[in-house]
Amino acid sequence: MIVLIIALASSPGLAQTTQNGQFIAGGSLSFISVSGNNSSSTTIIQIAPGLGVMATDRLGLGAEINYLRESSDNITSSSYSFSPFVRYYIYKGLFPQFKYVWAKMEDDAGFFSSSQSASGIDISLGYTIFLSPTVALEPSLFYLSLEGDSAVGLRMGFRAFLGGSDGE
């Protein structure tokens, strides 16, 4: 993934420019179904929409809302999170992004239910690949730390950049 991001950053013509005043709308949708050897199965659905604005040609500010539902046999868990973010385009479409995450998790095992809240950080390095002047894919590497638990992974986002200082 790091090699892909570096290759994209050094390729001419792949990165359009972001503009002061553009609105950023997008997010991701995930569906995962896993079947185990012992006839157990797990289904995960995740929806993560987000909105933001380009405060300058390089600085983006906004927030995302994330909903995740996981079901396996007799246990269902859900989590909701709100994450304000800041990103800065350092070279063409290459950007680091920082999010502060507030989350609430709920588990339901039929006769037993629990709920807890958590907060943490989500730091990523990504690249905006414009498919058209306003629509882009955004692969990124991320590190998430939430109340002592952490994860590292790959993420693919979809964004639309609307409006801007030149009236497009």
Q: How many domains does the chain have?
A: 1
In a domain, 93, yes or no: yes
**Domain range for residue 18?**
2-162
Interval 84-103: pLDDT, tens: 999 999 998 999 999 999 99
Would the pLDDT of 76 be above 90? no
Interval 28-58: pLDDT, tens: 888 878 777 777 788 888 899 999 999 999 9
Per-position b or e across 56-86, b if 16+ CB within 10 A of its CB: eebebebebebebebeeeeebbbbebebebe
In a domain, 35, yes or no: yes
In a domain, 9, yes or no: yes
Q: How many CB atoms lie within 10 A of CB 112?
A: 8
Q: Which residues fall within 8 angstroms of residue 37, CB to CB, at 6 or more apart? A: none
In a domain, 141, yes or no: yes
What's the CATH code of the domain at 27?
2.40.160.20
DSSP per-residue letters across 47-85: EEEEEEEESSSSEEEEEEEEEEEEEETTEEEEEEEEEEE
In a domain, 94, yes or no: yes
In a domain, 155, yes or no: yes
**This prediction's pTM:** 0.78
* CA Rg value for the chain: 18
Mean of pLDDT over the chain: 85
In a domain, 167, yes or no: no
In a domain, 168, yes or no: no
Kindly state the DSSP code that residue 91 receives in the 8-state scheme. Answer: B
Interval 11-23: pLDDT, tens: 544 446 788 999 9
